């Protein structure tokens, strides 16, 4: 069995100042191979502890991957820990030192003395060039084992890992993964719907993962079995499925709008601009997204072309008000479609509606409609993000 262990290094990971996504992302990248990731862990910036963990991983696994701790500061001790674990001495590499000095010179700076440590490595390691930073990585290959050490920032380690991964010559396996992106179904409901299909048999597995844009249902394993299982699962999920695999809601919405030569406007209350930010985060969004309004204060809402009786009769957290907002946005920006959001982001209830209540309005050529959501969320930011994704999920279903 080909075992792998992945270690994230840094006090910031232990104390929660930075969320460790590196180890998870590296583990996912190993799924297409016949490699079993037996353990992932986070280790503080403590030389003795990290050296012990590296030593144990090197003894048990054939692949050890570390991320973090390659900077120039005293608490960047990954190099020293690997040297201690493998019983080798660090040596300064003049060629890498010259490379570092050139990076700083190109920026018009003198290289600080602290950065010299980034040019150190053990004799058994080869360098992995860092195209986006000053922390080169290491690759150690001994007999049938590999150790790869990468910097912590994802923008730096991703291209380095993409270069090294094919060179590791990891054992291949027949593998396929299909992901259904859903919105409106909780994980427990999906488990109920799938029933026996949710069980793992060693050759294929099904997993659910809650994200901002809904719940992802992932089927992975032997290609033939995956295809058969996907054919069974898809109809069970029904209209909750809005996309597959690498689809994202903003991109999918904009693609469908462009295909229809249609335009979109937004009017946001609860989401406070998050919906517009998601859309404008996509390159070329201006082909279809005209823009948005964020009338947050009641006095701003009173300036909209909306009958005051709607809010007086139904309240501002209601389907009727969401529909009125969408109609106003479509009229004001002269768009094909318009989306609106109104609800309760907390921390207190509003108009008798609990925190997490969301109404999304949609105005288009076929008229005006709305949808009511009850969203989970630990805080206002999370609720606003989920509300914006809910609005896009509602729209993408209507654009099919």
What pLDDT is recorded for position 273? Answer: 98
User: What pLDDT, in 10s, does the model give residues 168-217?
Assistant: 999 988 889 999 999 999 999 999 999 989 876 778 989 999 999 999 99
Q: Which CATH number characterizes residue 203's domain?
A: 3.30.70.2860
182 and 321 in a single domain? The answer is: no
**Residues 218/230, Cβ–Cβ less than 8 Å:** no
Q: Is 182 helix (H, G, I), strand (E, B) or coil?
A: strand
Looking at 115, 141, 168, the residue that finishes a domain is 168
Compute and round to an integer the Cα radius of gyration of the chain: 26
What pLDDT is recorded for position 354? Answer: 94
Q: Is 245 helix (H, G, I), strand (E, B) or coil?
A: coil
* Cα separation, 360 vs 244, whole angstroms: 23
Looking at 123, 142, 168, the residue that finishes a domain is 168
Q: Which CATH number characterizes residue 289's domain?
A: 3.90.950.20
What pLDDT is recorded for position 173? Answer: 85
146 and 276 in a single domain? The answer is: no
Backbone angles phi, psi at 344, to 5 degrees: -125, 110
Please state the domain count of the chain.
3
What pLDDT is recorded for position 377? Answer: 76
What pLDDT is recorded for position 15? Answer: 95
* Cα separation, 393 vs 397, whole angstroms: 6
Looking at the chain, the whole-number percentage of residues with pLDDT higher than 70 is 100
Residue segments in the chain with a per-residue pLDDT below the cut of 50: none
What pLDDT is recorded for position 175? Answer: 86
Place of tokens 């809005």: 242
Beta-sheet strands, E only, within 129-166: 137-142, 145-150
Handedness of CA 375, 376, 379, 383 (dihedral sign): negative
In the structure, how many helices (H) and strands (E) does the chain have? Answer: 14, 17
What pLDDT is recorded for position 93? Answer: 96
Secondary structure (H, E, C), 70-96:
CCCCCCCCHHHHHHHHCCCCCEECHHH
192 and 253 in a single domain? The answer is: no
* Cα separation, 162 vs 68, whole angstroms: 17
355 and 375 in a single domain? The answer is: yes
213 and 275 in a single domain? The answer is: no
Q: Which residues contact 170 (CB under 8 A, 6 or more apart)?
A: 2, 30, 33, 34, 35, 63
* Cα separation, 234 vs 119, whole angstroms: 52
**Residues 344/386, Cβ–Cβ less than 8 Å:** no
**Beta 120-121 vs 91-92: how paired, if at all?**
antiparallel
239 and 269 in a single domain? The answer is: no
78 and 184 in a single domain? The answer is: no
**Beta 337-343 vs 264-268: how paired, if at all?**
parallel
71 and 156 in a single domain? The answer is: yes
Place of tokens 């109809």: 235
Backbone angles phi, psi at 318, to 5 degrees: -160, 160
Q: For the stretch 248-261, what's the b/e string if a residue is b when 16 or more beta carbons lie within 10 angstroms of its beta carbon? A: bbbbbbbbbbeeee
What pLDDT is recorded for position 156? Answer: 97
203 and 302 in a single domain? The answer is: no
**Residue 383 parent element (H or E):** helix 380-398
Name the pTM for this structure: 0.76
* Cα separation, 373 vs 77, whole angstroms: 48
Looking at 226, 244, 262, the residue that finishes a domain is 244
Task: Find the domain containing 190 and state its range.
Answer: 176-244
Q: Which CATH number characterizes residue 99's domain?
A: 3.40.980.10
42 and 149 in a single domain? The answer is: yes
84 and 210 in a single domain? The answer is: no
41 and 157 in a single domain? The answer is: yes
What pLDDT is recorded for position 315? Answer: 95
What pLDDT is recorded for position 199? Answer: 74
């Amino acid at each position: 069995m080909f075992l792998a262990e992945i270690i994230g290094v840094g006090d910031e990971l232990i104390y929660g100042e930075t969320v460790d996504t590196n180890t998870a992302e590296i583990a996912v990248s190993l799924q297409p191979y016949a490699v079993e990731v037996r353990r992932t862990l986070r280790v503080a910036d403590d030389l003795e502890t990290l050296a012990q963990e590296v030593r144990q991983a090197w003894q048990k696994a054939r692949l050890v991957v570390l991320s973090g701790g390659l900077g120039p500061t005293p608490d960047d001790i990954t190099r020293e820990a690997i040297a201690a674990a493998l019983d080798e001495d660090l040596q300064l590499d003049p060629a890498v030192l010259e490379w570092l000095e050139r990076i700083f010179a190109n920026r018009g700076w003198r290289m600080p003395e602290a950065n010299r440590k980034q040019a150190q490595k053990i004799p058994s390691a080869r360098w992995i060039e860092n195209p986006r930073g000053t922390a080169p990585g290491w690759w150690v290959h001994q007999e049938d084992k590999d150790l790869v050490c990468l910097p912590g920032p994802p923008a730096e380690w991703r291209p380095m890992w993409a270069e090294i991964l094919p060179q590791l010559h990891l054992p291949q396996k027949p593998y396929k993964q299909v992901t259904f992106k859903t919105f409106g179904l909780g994980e427990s409901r999906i488990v109920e719907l799938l029933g026996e299909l949710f069980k793992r048999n060693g050759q294929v597995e099904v997993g659910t993962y809650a994200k901002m844009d809904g719940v992802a249902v992932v089927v992975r394993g032997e290609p033939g079995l995956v295809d058969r299982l996907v054919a069974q699962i898809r109809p069970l999920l029904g209209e909750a499925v809005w996309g597959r695999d690498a689809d994202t809601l903003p991109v999918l919405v904009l693609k469908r709008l462009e295909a229809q030569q249609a335009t979109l406007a937004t009017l946001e209350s609860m989401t406070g601009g998050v919906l517009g930010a998601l859309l404008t985060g996509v390159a070329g969004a201006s082909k279809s997204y005209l823009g948005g309004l964020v009338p947050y204060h009641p006095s701003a809402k009173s300036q909209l072309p909306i009958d005051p009786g709607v809010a007086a009769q139904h309240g501002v957290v209601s389907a009727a008000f969401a529909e009125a907002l969408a109609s106003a946005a479509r009229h004001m920006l002269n768009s094909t479609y318009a989306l609106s959001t109104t609800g309760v982001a907390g921390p207190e209830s509003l108009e008798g509606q609990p925190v997490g209540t969301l109404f999304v309005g949609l105005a288009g050529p076929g008229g005006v409609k709305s949808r009511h959501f009850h969203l989970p969320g630990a805080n206002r930011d999370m609720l606003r993000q989920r509300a914006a994704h809910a609005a896009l999920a509602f729209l993408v279903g209507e654009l099919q």
